[in-house]
Amino acid sequence: MLRRSPPLLSPLSPLSQHLAPLSSLLPSPGSVLSPSPSDPGRLTPHTRCWRGVHGFEDDGRGAAAVLRPSCTAEVQSVLRYATAHRLPVIPQGGNTSLVGSAVPASPAAPSLVVCLGRLDKIHELDQTEAYLHCQAGAVLKDLQAAADDQGLHFPLSLGSEGSCQIGGNVATNAGGSYFERYGSISSNLLGLTAVLPSGEILDLHSTLSKSSAGPSLRSLFVGSEGTLGIVTDVCFKLHPAPASTELALFSVPSLSAASSLQALAASTCGGAVSALEIMDDRVLSLVSEQLPLPLPAPPSSYHVLVELHSHAASSARESIEALAAAALSGGAASDGVLASSGKEAAAIWGVREACGVAVNAFPVKFKYDFSLPLAKWEEIAAEARGRVEGEGGRVVTWGHLGDRNIHLNVVFDADSSRQEELAGLLEPFVYDFVEAAGGSISAEHGIGVCKAGRLDTVAGGGGERGVALLRQIKAAFDPLGIMNPGKLLQIE
């Protein structure tokens, strides 16, 4: 088990003495947001996660300052200063993390939250070579729009795409809805530039994907959660825009039927299958209780959303109709809705996106983001249900069927002060279950503060030896341990 070590930072001088020097390093207006006792709460959007679960309220007494550099040189100056004064640095993108990785872990050690939002320029979009090179603070939705404008497709799409930034996506190894078709961040990341804690620039920029010239240093930043340095620029692969897109929502009686539907989709629609999302009936009930959304499908144990992207104008419609016919006649689905317009397709996606929103409306909630073999999904949900039902807890699941990423969510209509106590009903059970099943405790949201200390349990992660090597890598990049302390890894 990974040991939780205390931060190695030396006792810190009060943050107030650093504000004037930092302001001289970042002279443009609004670049340094300092805490103010007369205006408590002004920094809270940066010191607390958006769900209000991680981080802390800014009370104006100086637990954090927020820095908004507008160029790479300013990021360098900030990191050089932080290193010289051993100040903890928390890189922050859109602050949409679900595991508390983008906010300071505690108000005990004053820290610098470095927001990348001003680094939002698109340097270049090359249609011939199909890449987009931009600054790390560019918002994902803006990159999708820029690719669309040029008749190309940006391969990443998340529920948080209106706020999250491409640097944050790289640092969390974000997954998302179209992983099925376009793959992971690693398979689309061509290059990046990062500033190391020392202030040195590590230029890993490339516009080409193929290289067998040694281990890939850029991959170290994928999933690094701001613990190695600050990513300032990213180069991403673009794909041809689909000529036709079709979407269907199937009512599915069981998980084994969902698996049959997946196999049918692969054999009927081939490589056009781009999204395969699944929701259980319990989460749809929650959505309909919390939000005035028309539910598009009749009651069933599970609902599977299939989206096809085809490069021939007519074939997506033909393929989805063939899939529907085969699924209904073979028993993989009991019913189905084919979206007849972009508006209908958006409404169905709206229901899928509403799952997280409905959960968030509860005062006490637990979100787990596991990858698990399909055969284990019902078992973990049933065992969790058995543990929480006595306290009025409700267990709902949804996820990315194609990549076996289950979002297991547990909600309680209880006083929020009981969050920690109720966690004891679920943890460490859920983590032990995932470890025993050979899964991952984080399929796409990252480790953050929630799961720091459990990295050695992830299948394929090398166990304690793997974590020891990661610690050495961390120490090579960040010998003083100033980068995002308390998250992911800490140096011994």
- Which CB atom, from 90 or from 235, has the smaller least distance to ligand FAD? 90
* Residue 444 sits in the site that holds ligand FAD (CB under 6 A): yes
The CB density around residue 349, as the number of other CB atoms within 10 Å, is 20
Which of 31, 169, 371, 442 lies at the binding interface for ligand FAD (CB under 6 A)? Answer: 169
| Nearest distance, CB of residue 228 and ligand FAD, angstroms | 8
* Residue 371 sits in the site that holds ligand FAD (CB under 6 A): no
Amino acid at 239: H
Q: Is 16 helix (H, G, I), strand (E, B) or coil?
A: helix
In whole angstroms, give the CA distance from residue 281 to residue 353.
Answer: 15
> Which helix H or strand E contains 152, and what residues bound it?
strand 152-153
- Which CB atom, from 55 or from 167, has the smaller least distance to ligand FAD? 167
Which residues, at least 6 apart from 249, have a Cβ–Cβ distance to it below 8 Å?
296, 297, 303, 304, 305, 306, 336, 337, 339, 348
* Residue 486 sits in the site that holds ligand FAD (CB under 6 A): no
**x/- map, 229-258, ligand FAD, by CB under 6 A:** -xx---------------------------
| Nearest distance, CB of residue 247 and ligand FAD, angstroms | 17
Token pair 């990252």: residue: 446
In whole angstroms, give the CA distance from residue 193 to residue 257.
Answer: 45
The CB density around residue 127, as the number of other CB atoms within 10 Å, is 11
In whole angstroms, give the CA distance from residue 323 to residue 260.
Answer: 11
Token pair 């009930």: residue: 285
- Which CB atom, from 228 or from 269, has the smaller least distance to ligand FAD? 228
Give strand ranges (E) for 218-363.
230-237, 239-240, 244-252, 273-280, 302-310, 335-338
Which of 445, 451, 454, 474 lies at the binding interface for ligand FAD (CB under 6 A)? Answer: 445
Joined tokens for residue 432: 């032990």
- Name the segment binding ligand FAD (CB under 6 A); options: 166-174, 241-249, 275-283, 325-333: 166-174
Is the CB of residue 98 less than 8 Å from the CB of residue 367? yes
DSSP 102-134: SS-S-TTS-EEEEE-TT---EEEEETTTTEEEE
**x/- map, 171-190, ligand FAD, by CB under 6 A:** xx-xxx--------------
Token pair 């020097």: residue: 21
Rounded to 5 degrees, what are φ and ψ at 236?
-125, 145
- Name the segment binding ligand FAD (CB under 6 A); options: 76-84, 88-96, 208-216, 338-346: 88-96
- Which CB atom, from 326 or from 357, has the smaller least distance to ligand FAD? 357
Q: Is 200 helix (H, G, I), strand (E, B) or coil?
A: coil
* Residue 69 sits in the site that holds ligand FAD (CB under 6 A): no
* Residue 91 sits in the site that holds ligand FAD (CB under 6 A): yes
Strand partners, 191: 235
* Residue 470 sits in the site that holds ligand FAD (CB under 6 A): no
| Nearest distance, CB of residue 230 and ligand FAD, angstroms | 4
Which of 164, 204, 222, 332 lies at the binding interface for ligand FAD (CB under 6 A)? Answer: 164
Which residue number is nearest to ligand FAD in terms of Cβ? 168
- Which CB atom, from 102 or from 273, has the smaller least distance to ligand FAD? 102
- Which CB atom, from 166 or from 265, has the smaller least distance to ligand FAD? 166
417, with CB counted inside 10 A (0-12, 13-18, 19+), is exposed
Which of 92, 144, 442, 490 lies at the binding interface for ligand FAD (CB under 6 A)? Answer: 92
Joined tokens for residue 188: 């689309």
Which of 69, 223, 226, 453 lies at the binding interface for ligand FAD (CB under 6 A)? Answer: 226
* Residue 356 sits in the site that holds ligand FAD (CB under 6 A): yes
- Which CB atom, from 120 or from 435, has the smaller least distance to ligand FAD? 120
* Residue 351 sits in the site that holds ligand FAD (CB under 6 A): no
In whole angstroms, give the CA distance from residue 381 to residue 396.
Answer: 8
- Which CB atom, from 246 or from 444, has the smaller least distance to ligand FAD? 444
DSSP 380-402: HHHHHHHHHGGGT-EEEEEEEGG
| Nearest distance, CB of residue 227 and ligand FAD, angstroms | 7
Is the CB of residue 63 less than 8 Å from the CB of residue 107? yes
- Name the segment binding ligand FAD (CB under 6 A); options: 38-46, 225-233, 308-316, 370-378: 225-233
* Residue 225 sits in the site that holds ligand FAD (CB under 6 A): yes
Task: Output the CA torsion 375→376→377→379 (10° steps).
Answer: 120
- Which CB atom, from 422 or from 447, has the smaller least distance to ligand FAD? 447
Which of 35, 69, 168, 439 lies at the binding interface for ligand FAD (CB under 6 A)? Answer: 168
In whole angstroms, give the CA distance from residue 436 to residue 455.
Answer: 14
- Name the segment binding ligand FAD (CB under 6 A); options: 57-65, 86-94, 142-150, 264-272: 86-94
Is the CB of residue 459 less than 8 Å from the CB of residue 372? no
Residues 258-287 that bind ligand FAD (CB under 6 A): none
- Which CB atom, from 232 or from 268, has the smaller least distance to ligand FAD? 232
CA angle 72, 91, 52 (to 5 degrees): 145
Residues 93-122 that bind ligand FAD (CB under 6 A): 93-98, 101-102, 116
In whole angstroms, give the CA distance from residue 168 to residue 15.
Answer: 26
Residues in contact with ligand FAD by CB under 6 A are: 90-98, 101-102, 116, 136, 158-160, 164-165, 167-169, 171-172, 174-176, 225-226, 230-231, 356, 444-446, 484, 487
